[in-house]
Chains A and B, each alone.
Chain A
Amino acid sequence: MQSKMKESDPILEVENLSASTDNLPILKGVSLTVYPGEIHAIMGRNGCGKSTLSKIIAGHPSYNITNGDIKFLGENINSLEPEERAQSGIFLGFQYPIEIPGVSNLEFLRVSTNARRKFLNKEELDTFDFEELVKEKLEIVKMDHAFLSRSVNQGFSGGEKKRNEILQMALLEPKIAILDETDSGLDIDALRIVASGIKKISNAQTGIILITHYQRLLDEIKPNYVHVMSDGQIIKTGESDLALELEKKGYEWTDNFIKET
C-alpha cells in the first residue's frame, strides 16, 4: 500500500531543516516527507520542537531557517509569506486559536475562503453564496450557525475554538493540513466530532500531519507513520504501533534512542 502511494509526487518535503528564534536553535535537522493520502503523527515532549516545526512550515515570521529546505508540491517555499502558503494549500490548525475582537467570524471565514478560491482560479463567493457553503460545512463540525456572527474565537470554549479550526480546514480544502494538538482540551464527544471532521475532509489527495501527545486521537484517525521528536530532531519513525508503545512506555523510553544515536 505504501509503495503504491509513493508512485505519486510528495506534497511536502522537509529536508534537513534547522531553525532558530532569537538566535536560539529550535530545530536541528528535521526531515519529513508526506505523500498524498498519508497521515503522519508527530509526538514528543513539550518543548521538543513539534509546534515550532508546524509554525515554520506555515511561515511564522518569528523563526529563521538557518539550514535546509521546505518544499511544497516540489517548490521551495522557504521565503514565501504565510498568506501565500495558505493560499496555495497549506493549513495550520492552531494549538491555541487566536481571538480577534471585532472581526466577525463569518466575514473572516469568507475573506479567507475567497483568498484560497482566488488562488485556485475559482469564482469568489458573495455573502449569499458563502452562507450556503458555510452552512454545509458547519454540519461537518456540528457547529451552530450562531458561531458565525460572533467575533473570531472570542469567548469560544476550548472545544469551540478547535471546531472552528476544523471548519476553516473544511472551507479551505488544503493540500496538507498540520493539526497542532487539535485534540488537547477536548472531551470525548468533541474529540469524536473533530476526528470525524478531519476524516471527512481528507482524501487520497491530501496529506495530514497530526501533532499530538495522546493515543486517543490516533485511535480515531489511524496514522501511516509516527515520528517521535526530541530536542529539535526526529529521533524515531515507525508505524502506528509506535504510538501505542510510546503510550505504554512513556517518553522516558525515547531517551534511550538518543543515547543509541
Chain B
Amino acid sequence: MVNENLVKAVVKEPYKYGFVTDIETEKIAKGLNEDIIRLISQKKEEPKFLLDFRLKAFKKWQKMKEPDWAGLGYKKIDYQDIIYYSAPKQKEKISSLDEVDPKLLETFDKLGIPLTEQKKLTNVAVDAVFDSVSIATTFREELAEHGVIFCSISEAVKNHADLIEKYLGTVVPASDNYFAALNSAVFSDGSFVYIPKGVTCPMDLSSYFRINSGDSGQFERTLIIAEESSSVSYLEGCTAPMFDTNTLHAAVVELIALDDASIKYSTVQNWYAGDEEGIGGIFNFVTKRGKCLGKRSKISWSQVETGSAITWKYPSCLLLGEESVGEFYSVALTNNLQQADTGTKMIHIGPKTKSTIVSKGISAGNSINSYRGLVKMGTKATGSRNYSQCDSMLIGDQASANTFPYIKSQQPNSEIEHEASTCRISEDQLFYLQSRGIEFEEAVSMMVSGFCRDVFNQLPMEFAAEADKLLALKLEGSVG
C-alpha cells in the first residue's frame, strides 16, 4: 500500500545532469606518488612553498589509515587506480570567455549555469570548475572595483601567493584527517575569495563543480577569507555524469572570519548518487571547516545534500573569537542505497560564543542517513551556548536514520541543548492530503519540504526554490 507506492515513486528518480561532455582532455597517468605530485605542481606552475606543502601532506597521508568509524559500507578505494589530474585541453592562455571551448560553455549552459556575457546570471558571480580546472569566473572586474578577489585557487596561488601562504592549511591542517591529507597533496582547483576590510560583497559568489571524467578524482580546494567587518554569501553546486564506476571526490574548504566578519556558505550537493542497485555514484569525502577568528565573527553553513553514493561530511566551526557565532543548517536526503554520514562540529573556545545546529535527514528506499555531530565547550568558553535540533524523516520501511550527538563540556558555565525526533510519513497524513484532492506524489513532496522548512528558510532565496524543486524531483519520479 503506502510503502509500496512510495518506494515506487521514489525509485523512479531521474538524474538529469548525468550526461558526459565529449571533450579532449589532458590526463596524467594513474597512480599516486611523489612524482605525480611534483607533476601536478609543475603543471600549475606553483611556487616552492606549495610543492613543499603538498609533499609534506603526502608523507603524512602515507602514514594514515582510511577512517572507518562512520561504519560506511563501500568497496575499498584503490588510490593507485585514480587519475589525479584531468583537464579539458584548451589554448595555452585564455584571456577572455570568448576563448573558452564552446563545448564547455554549452555544458555549463545545460547545467543551468550560463557563463557568457549575454546570458550570465545577473546577481551571482560564478566560478565554474570542470574536473581539475577552473574554466571561467564571471563578474571579476565588477568585484575587483570593491576590492573583492574571486578567482580560481590556482590563479590565487600565482597572483596572491602571500594570502595563500598565510592562510592555506590553517583551518584544516594537512594532518587533520585522511582525506584532508590526500586533498592537501593533490588538490587541483577550487575557488578563492578575499573580502577586504569593511566590504559587504555586492553580490552572491558561487562555485559550480562539475565532474566529467569517470576515472579521475576531484580534489577541489576552497579558501575564503573575510577581513574585519566584511561579509559574503557563497554558494556551491555540484553535479556529475552517470558512470557505473565510483568516482572519488575529496574536497577541503577553509573559511576564515576576522572581527565582525560574516561568511554564509551554502551548498546544494547533487553529485550522481548511483543507480537503484547502488552501482556507480560519487564517493564524497569532504572536510569543511570555518574559523571564527575574530570577535563577533559569524560563520553559517547551510547544505542540501541529495547526491553521492556516500557522503562523509561535517562542516564545522571553530569559535575562537569572543561572541563569535557558528551555524549549521542541513537537509540530507538519501534514497535507494545511498549512505550519508553528515553533521557538524561546533568547537566553542572563546567566551560567549554561540552555535545553532538544525539538521533534517530524510531517508527513503534502502538508504542509511546519519547525523553525527560534536558540540564541545572548552575551558574558556564561559557563557557560551549551543542549541541543536536533529530531526529524521523515514519514507518507507526499509530506510534507516541514526543520530549520534557527541557532547563534551569542560566549562560548567555554558549551556548545551539538544533535541532530536524521528518521524515517518504516515499513511494517515498522506490519506488526509489525498482526500483533499492532492496527488500522492505532491502530498509526499509537500510534507518533505514542510519538514525541511527551517533549513530552506536559511538558504539564499533562489537556492531555496532550487532546493525545494530538487527534493521534489528526487521524490516525484518525474523529469523536471
Cβ contact within 8 Å between A102 and B451? yes
Q: Which residues of B contact A81 (CB under 8 A)?
A: 434, 440
Question: How many Å lie between the Cα of A97 and that of B431 in the bound state?
Answer: 11
Q: What 1/0 mask marks residues of chain B from 445 to 459 whose CB sits below 8 Å from any chain A CB?
A: 011011111000000
Cβ contact within 8 Å between B440 and A102? no
Q: Does A240 contact B (CB under 8 A)?
A: no
Q: Which residues of B contact A115 (CB under 8 A)?
A: 436-439
Cβ contact within 8 Å between A172 and B453? no
Question: How many Å lie between the Cα of A59 and that of B430 in the bound state?
Answer: 12
Instruction: List residues of A (20-74) whose CB comes within 8 Å of B's CBs.
Output: 58-62
Cβ contact within 8 Å between A103 and B432? no
Cβ contact within 8 Å between B429 and A98? yes
- Considering the complex, give the chain A residue whose CB is closest to the CB of B1: A61
Question: How many Å lie between the Cα of A115 and that of B438 in the bound state?
Answer: 6
Quick one: given A60-B431, A97-B432, are A108 and B437 in contact (CB under 8 Å)?
Answer: no
Question: How many Å lie between the Cα of A103 and that of B446 in the bound state?
Answer: 7
Q: Does B435 contact A (CB under 8 A)?
A: yes
Q: Does B428 contact A (CB under 8 A)?
A: yes
Question: How many Å lie between the Cα of A119 and that of B434 in the bound state?
Answer: 14
Q: Does A162 contact B (CB under 8 A)?
A: no
Q: Which residues of B contact A100 (CB under 8 A)?
A: 429, 432-433, 446-447, 450
- Considering the complex, give the chain A residue whose CB is closest to the CB of B450: A102
Cβ contact within 8 Å between B436 and A94? no
Q: What 1/0 mask marks residues of chain B from 389 to 417 whose CB sits below 8 Å from any chain A CB?
A: 00000000000000000000000000000
Cβ contact within 8 Å between A83 and B439? yes
Cβ contact within 8 Å between A108 and B433? yes
Q: Which residues of B contact A86 (CB under 8 A)?
A: 434-437
Question: How many Å lie between the Cα of A58 and that of B449 in the bound state?
Answer: 26
Q: Does A215 contact B (CB under 8 A)?
A: no
A140 smallest CB distance to B (angstroms): 17
Question: How many Å lie between the Cα of A47 and that of B96 in the bound state?
Answer: 77
A43 smallest CB distance to B (angstroms): 23
Q: Does A196 contact B (CB under 8 A)?
A: no
Q: Which residues of A contact B434 (CB under 8 A)?
A: 59, 81-83, 86
Chain B CB within 10 Å, residue with most, of A83, A86, A101, A116: A83
Q: Which residues of B contact A108 (CB under 8 A)?
A: 433, 436, 438, 446
Q: Which residues of A contact B429 (CB under 8 A)?
A: 98, 100
Question: How many Å lie between the Cα of A86 and that of B437 in the bound state?
Answer: 5
B377 smallest CB distance to A (angstroms): 31
Cβ contact within 8 Å between B428 and A111? no
Q: What 1/0 mask marks residues of chain A from 98 to 118 whose CB sits below 8 Å from any chain B CB?
A: 101111100110011001100
Question: How many Å lie between the Cα of A85 and that of B439 in the bound state?
Answer: 11
Question: How many Å lie between the Cα of A115 and that of B439 in the bound state?
Answer: 9
Question: How many Å lie between the Cα of A103 and that of B428 in the bound state?
Answer: 15
Quick one: given A98-B429, A98-B432, are A103 and B447 in contact (CB under 8 Å)?
Answer: yes
- Considering the complex, give the chain B residue whose CB is closest to the CB of A114: B437
Question: How many Å lie between the Cα of A102 and that of B442 in the bound state?
Answer: 15
Cβ contact within 8 Å between B435 and A92? yes
- Which of B2, B428, B438, B440 is A98 in contact with, Cβ under 8 Å? B428
Q: Which residues of A contact B162 (CB under 8 A)?
A: none
Question: How many Å lie between the Cα of A108 and that of B442 in the bound state?
Answer: 11
Interface magnitude class on chain B: 20 to 34
Q: Does B427 contact A (CB under 8 A)?
A: yes
Q: Does A182 contact B (CB under 8 A)?
A: no
Question: How many Å lie between the Cα of A111 and that of B440 in the bound state?
Answer: 13
Cβ contact within 8 Å between A102 and B447? yes
Chain B CB within 10 Å, residue with most, of A81, A97, A103, A115: A103
Quick one: given A86-B437, A119-B437, A172-B437, are A111 and B431 in contact (CB under 8 Å)?
Answer: no
Q: What 1/0 mask marks residues of chain A from 72 to 96 whose CB sits below 8 Å from any chain B CB?
A: 0000000001110111000010100
B476 smallest CB distance to A (angstroms): 14
- Which of A60, A101, A104, A168 is B436 in contact with, Cβ under 8 Å? A168
Question: How many Å lie between the Cα of A92 and that of B433 in the bound state?
Answer: 11
Q: Does A151 contact B (CB under 8 A)?
A: yes
B395 smallest CB distance to A (angstroms): 15
Cβ contact within 8 Å between B453 and A102? yes
Question: How many Å lie between the Cα of A100 and that of B426 in the bound state?
Answer: 10
- Considering the complex, give the chain A residue whose CB is closest to the CB of B449: A102
Q: Which residues of B contact A98 (CB under 8 A)?
A: 426, 428-429, 431-432
A92 smallest CB distance to B (angstroms): 5
Question: How many Å lie between the Cα of A100 and that of B442 in the bound state?
Answer: 14
A66 smallest CB distance to B (angstroms): 16
Question: How many Å lie between the Cα of A67 and that of B248 in the bound state?
Answer: 57
Quick one: given A61-B431, A97-B432, A98-B429, are A112 and B447 in contact (CB under 8 Å)?
Answer: no
Instruction: List residues of A (106-149) whose CB comes within 8 Å of B's CBs.
Output: 107-108, 111-112, 115-116, 119
Cβ contact within 8 Å between A101 and B450? yes
Q: Which residues of A contact B438 (CB under 8 A)?
A: 83, 108, 111-112, 115
Quick one: given A61-B431, A81-B434, are A111 and B450 in contact (CB under 8 Å)?
Answer: no
Q: Which residues of B contact A83 (CB under 8 A)?
A: 434-440
Q: Which residues of A contact B423 (CB under 8 A)?
A: 101
- Considering the complex, give the chain B residue whose CB is closest to the CB of A154: B450
Cβ contact within 8 Å between A116 and B437? yes
- Considering the complex, give the chain A residue whose CB is closest to the CB of B360: A102
Quick one: given A112-B437, A115-B437, are A94 and B432 in contact (CB under 8 Å)?
Answer: yes
Question: How many Å lie between the Cα of A187 and that of B268 in the bound state?
Answer: 50
* 18 residue pairs bridging A and B, Cβ less than 8 Å apart: A58-B431, A60-B435, A81-B434, A82-B431, A83-B440, A85-B435, A86-B436, A98-B426, A98-B428, A98-B431, A100-B446, A102-B447, A103-B450, A104-B450, A111-B438, A111-B442, A111-B446, A115-B437
Instruction: Name the 9 nearest CB pairs between A and B, nearest first.
Output: A102-B450, A115-B437, A86-B437, A112-B436, A103-B450, A82-B434, A98-B432, A87-B437, A83-B434
Further pairs besides A61-B2, A83-B435, A111-B438: 14, Cβ < 8 Å: A58-B431, A58-B435, A59-B434, A81-B440, A82-B434, A83-B434, A83-B436, A83-B438, A86-B434, A98-B428, A102-B452, A103-B450, A115-B436, A116-B437
